[in-house]
A = this chain, B = another copy of it.
Amino acid sequence: MAANDRIPPRVVALDGDDTLWHNETLFSAVHGEFRDLLARYVDAPAEVVDERLLAIEKQNLALYGYGIKGFVLSMVETAIAVTGGRIPAEDISTILRYGREMLSHPVELIDGAQATIAALRERDHEVWLVTKGDLFDQESKIARSGLADLFDRVEIVSEKDEPTYRRLLDRHGVLPEEFAMAGNSLRSDVLPVAALGGRAFHVPYHVTWAHEIVADPSSARFITLETIRALPGALERDL
């Protein structure tokens, strides 16, 4: 369709974690505590622990999926592995506590999140939340965010790849050229949407989980925004 970029997107979808609310900072903070906890038993530099944790997380991803519970299970596994089983049960309890604290942590909105959704709605876009991860945890976060009532549709998916977006659009009768997506992850929010012909906006967050980092492929068409606040205007300029 030649006029692809000339139709205002009927549907504007937003990512949740690190786009509308802070998430990776919480993981990073706990990761730091975990590193300090293990430093008492391990002589190796912190980077070695980090690498081991990331390797175990990636290995478990096919079984656990994304989310805090899988992260906690991978931390416990890493702690036992890197200490050669010397970690006492008491410290395993501490790791479990990290998880419970993360799961009940207040949801802190990213500056401009609420105002941006309001502006999109005022401009008659249908606003979706499309978020990846643990169903229970995401539902709980959406509820705690106070934003739930502002979305026309909330979709929690286990993976954000091209087939997932295609399925979502098909299910709700939305054409790719009617669809825009904004989020912090090139891998999950931007590239798959650009690939299927939707409009993709990258809103970088200051921390990115190593697993989500991809090489920036110069062939993909997307727009990078400084902050989420720039989205409504960028959608207009991109017509």
* Chain A interface residues toward B at CB < 8 A: 60, 63-67, 69-70, 72-73, 76-77, 79-80, 83, 85-90, 92-93, 96, 99-100, 103-104, 134-137, 139, 156-158
- The answer to whether B93 touches A77, judged by C-beta atoms less than 8 angstroms apart, is yes
Q: How far is the CB of A94 from chain B (nearest CB, A)?
A: 10
Q: Identify the closest chain B residue to A79 (Cβ).
A: B89
Q: How far is the CB of A154 from chain B (nearest CB, A)?
A: 11
The verdict on A65 contacting B99 (CB below 8 Å), with A88-B85, A89-B87, A92-B76 known, is no
* Residues of chain B lying within 8 A (CB to CB) of residue A158: 135-136, 139
Q: Identify the closest chain B residue to A137 (Cβ).
A: B65
- The answer to whether B63 touches A100, judged by C-beta atoms less than 8 angstroms apart, is yes
CA distance A90 to B66 in the complex (A): 25
| Copies of this protein, total | 2
Q: Identify the closest chain B residue to A139 (Cβ).
A: B158
Known pairs A65-B136, A76-B92, A136-B158. 11 more at Cβ < 8 A?
A63-B100, A63-B103, A64-B103, A67-B136, A69-B69, A69-B70, A73-B99, A83-B89, A85-B89, A135-B135, A139-B158
- The answer to whether A136 touches B66, judged by C-beta atoms less than 8 angstroms apart, is yes
The verdict on A136 contacting B93 (CB below 8 Å), with A69-B69, A69-B70, A99-B73 known, is no
* Residues of chain B lying within 8 A (CB to CB) of residue A72: 73
Q: Identify the closest chain B residue to A158 (Cβ).
A: B136
- The answer to whether B69 touches A64, judged by C-beta atoms less than 8 angstroms apart, is yes
Q: What are 26 pairs between A and B in contact, CB < 8 Å?
A: A60-B100, A63-B104, A64-B103, A65-B135, A65-B136, A65-B137, A66-B136, A67-B136, A72-B73, A73-B99, A76-B76, A76-B96, A77-B93, A77-B96, A80-B90, A80-B92, A83-B89, A85-B90, A85-B93, A86-B89, A87-B89, A89-B89, A92-B92, A134-B134, A135-B135, A135-B157
